[in-house]
Chains A and B, each alone.
Chain A
Amino acid sequence: MLTKRVIVCMDVNDGRVVKGVNFVDLRDAGDPVELAEVYDREGADEVVFLDITATSDERATTIDLASHAAERLRIPYTVGGGFHDIEGARAMIAAGADKISLCTAAVRDPELITLASRAFGSQAVIVAIDAKRTGAADSWEAYIRGGRTPTGLDAVGWAQEAARRGAGEILLTSMDRDGTQDGFDIALTRAVARAVPIPVIASGGVGTLEHFAEGIIDGEADAVLAASVFHFGTFSVRQVKEYMAGQGIPVRLDF
């Protein structure tokens, strides 16, 4: 049976993981690839590197990260940020990234989703949606530029358009829940998961083991993503997967 995935996310700035990392067995807790290798050994199904560098040489830094990861990781990984166009995306794939994640660039130029999926295959194109609740009930707006800029786009509608244009997966982050440890925005996750024919990765808000299972069972997500709870050592990936297995969710435990 196809398992539900547990994905670890790393925010990277100038080639270093930002947000706290609490591992004691690392030579260098800020090295994203070294950290990702630990998660590979712990049973993470995938890792995502989100480059949040805002300097002019960001593409070079991100390519360097992507190729370093290709040398060391034996699980799939995604690179997001650090590029804005098809050439940039191509450079990441050429460096070894299995998938690219598009957020701001996709909203500014939705054709980029189509071009990328034609060039690399849908399976290699993730559209990341940062969604924030509007005043109305069960209504969310997509934001870009790291959550700084509203787009006027309905998050569910945008997810549908992204899928139509060839996105292979949606990485859905609840801005309302991100960093709160209150759990995923289940209504948002379910609304998007039901609206699109492609896998949805739930992100934003995980604080307990129960939250992971809720994202899959109640949110109907295909994968759950978290950062801090892993980086701070609150839970290990294995612990999360064993809990999920106990809730009847198919997960990979043979690692």
Chain B
Amino acid sequence: MAPRIVLIDYHKGNLLSVARSLSDVGAEVTITDEPDKIRAAAGLVLPGVGSFEDAMGFLHESGVAEALADALARKVPFLGICLGEHLIMEYGDESAGGYCAGMGMVRGSVRKLDGSALKVPHVGWNQLELTESGRRCPLFAGVEDGAHVYFTHSHALDDDVDEGIVAAYTSYTRRFASAIWDGSALFAVQFHPEKSSTVGLRILKNFVSLVPGGRP
């Protein structure tokens, strides 16, 4: 059976592209906001659309945040994409009033890119500078250092993220962690693999390959 992936829906945007791309690379995808299904998932993807504060509100009220924390404690393969990467951090500065608490599964915060010298949002194809850990990271198997992937964002991980978990950096207004890996089953990326053509599909395929197949 195909590896089953649960794609978490927090009702803020379209999940079709992520779902289709995961199917393209052999996954069976379930889109859900139900905590029980998330808790029981064999693989989880938290996609990225919308506002940090709104998403956090939903994740807490719905019980999804708690279910996700339970699943991650079991070392279920997890991939956060864009906002989905931000939400697992401790804090984000996306709310109008300043910092907003994230789910705090990874230490560090999210900070807006400074638009005084370069244009923000950072939109387009930029490069992955793989770290030593990134070169060993299963997500990037077969992906070359310097590969181009598609970004569209105004916020990125801040420098308070532990260097040891950074799998790739990308340089724009500042050099930011564009991919993290905890050395185990937690992966999160700033870019959009589902919009990154063949390189992106390779990354998603690598992720899907880490998810155990369904029951025989």
Contacts and interface: CB of A to CB of B under 8 A. Distances in A.
Contacts of A70: 14, 16-17, 20
A13 B164 CA distance: 52
Contacts of A2: 122, 124-126, 151, 172
Contact of A223 (B124, B197, B201): B124
A5 B50 contact: no
A74 B196 contact: yes
Contacts, number: 90
A195 interface: no
B107 interface: no
B98 interface: no
B202 to A, nearest CB: 11
Contact of B198 (A71, A94, A222, A255): A255
A222 to B, nearest CB: 7
Contacts of B196: 74-75
B37 interface: no
Contacts of A5: 124-125
Interface string B185-206: 0000000101111111100000
Interface residues of A, number: 32
Given A96-B14, A123-B153, A254-B148, A74 B123 contact: no
Contacts of B51: 121
B124 A254 contact: no
Given A74-B196, A98-B195, A252 B125 contact: yes
Interface string B8-47: 0000011011001100100000000000000000000000
Contacts of B207: none
Contacts of A74: 21, 24, 194-198, 200-201
A255 B172 CA distance: 22
Q: Which of B49, B124, B151, B152 has the most CB of A within 10 A?
A: B124
A252 to B, nearest CB: 4
A186 to B, nearest CB: 19
A252 B200 CA distance: 13
A3 interface: yes
B148 A76 contact: no
A76 B21 contact: no
B57 interface: no
B154 interface: yes
Contacts of A255: 197-199
A71 B14 CA distance: 12
Contact of A122 (B121, B172, B194, B195): B121
B150 interface: yes
Interface string B124-164: 11110000000000000000101110111110000000000
B122 to A, nearest CB: 7
Interface of B: 13-14, 16-17, 20-21, 24, 49-51, 115, 119-127, 144, 146-148, 150-154, 171-172, 192, 194-201
The 7 closest A-B pairs by CB, nearest first: A252-B148, A123-B152, A252-B125, A123-B121, A96-B16, A70-B16, A2-B126
